[in-house]
Amino acid sequence: ETTAAESKEETSATEEKGAAALETATGKFTVGFDQEFPPMGFVGDNGEYTGFDLALAEEAAKRLGLEFVPQPINWDAKDMELESGNIDCIWNGFTMQGREDAYTWVGPYMANNQVFVVDGDSDIVTKADLNGKAVEVQKDSSGLNAINDDADLLASFGSLTEVADYNTALMDLESGACDAVCMDSIVAGYQIKSSGKNMKILEDTLAAEEYGIGFKKGDDALAAAVKDVLMEMVADGTVEKISNEWFGSNVFTLK
């Protein structure tokens, strides 16, 4: 049970963190995200932005006393958006591996794998079966990085096409314009389940990775404030509740 005095202390602590963040965010917390990346961030059936990451970010902003602004961005322009100050962070299934020194991070907070999605009736079963096949991947994505890191696999493809977003890639897969899509397992599983489309994920994974929240290098105060409120949300059960709503279990790993 929380006493009145304890409640007052908690409120005061939250206000102090909010005040610190206000100095760098001018009263707003603008989160950059790919609006076609369900279930992390996307446009819902009602036309509103929604998703697991956005739900966490909105609650964090509220606790910091900041106005939450979800800002859709082109994924290949994310660094420009961050450096220019158009967004305060990149919070949208953002892979930390290979980018450890490029940002001030909060994380890791979730595990993920890069996988290949193929037609449900395809005879493609392993990565070796992608020999001579047409593969698609999102521009400037961790999936593209993972493919480029595997020279033998890349050389085996018939072609590798970079597309703007995964919805485009999956539509190409459905139409037969490509044979496989390399993408995040979290997103692939959600897309297949929610759409009911006849697609399958190969058991062969390309890369294991973890998601983090990327702030501009040196933006330590805002990053620390966000981490503090996230840990509060872990402690009071808010994170678990949000995670259960999206995944049916608690996938959040931030410590």
CB distance 206 to 146 below 8 Å: yes
92 and 54 belong to one structural domain = yes
Q: Is residue 239 part of a domain?
A: yes
User: For residue 193, what is the domain's CATH number?
Assistant: 3.40.190.10
Model confidence over 210-252: pLDDT tens digits? 999 999 999 999 999 999 999 999 999 999 999 999 998 899 9
**Predicted TM-score of the model (pTM):** 0.81
How far is residue 2 from each of residues 5, 8, 230, measured CA to CA in Å?
A: 8, 10, 19
CB distance 179 to 159 below 8 Å: no
194 and 236 belong to one structural domain = no
CB distance 32 to 74 below 8 Å: no
> Which one, of 48, 49, 72, 69, lies nearest residue 60 by Cα?
69
State the residue range of the domain holding 72: 4-111+210-247
Q: Is residue 134 part of a domain?
A: yes
Q: Is residue 170 part of a domain?
A: yes
105 and 122 belong to one structural domain = no
pLDDT of 20 higher than 90: no
Model confidence over 56-113: pLDDT tens digits? 999 999 999 999 999 999 999 999 999 999 999 999 999 999 999 999 999 999 999 9
Interacting residues of 85 by C-beta distance below 8 A, sequence separation 6+: none
158 and 187 belong to one structural domain = yes
**Angle at Cα 184 formed by Cα 183 and Cα 185, nearest 5°?**
115
| Strand-pair category, 199-201 with 41-43 | unpaired
Burial status of residue 250 (CB atoms within 10 A of its CB: 0-12, 13-18, 19 or more): middle
Total domains in the fold of the chain = 2
Question: 85 — alpha (psi -120 to 50), left (phi > 0) or beta?
Answer: left
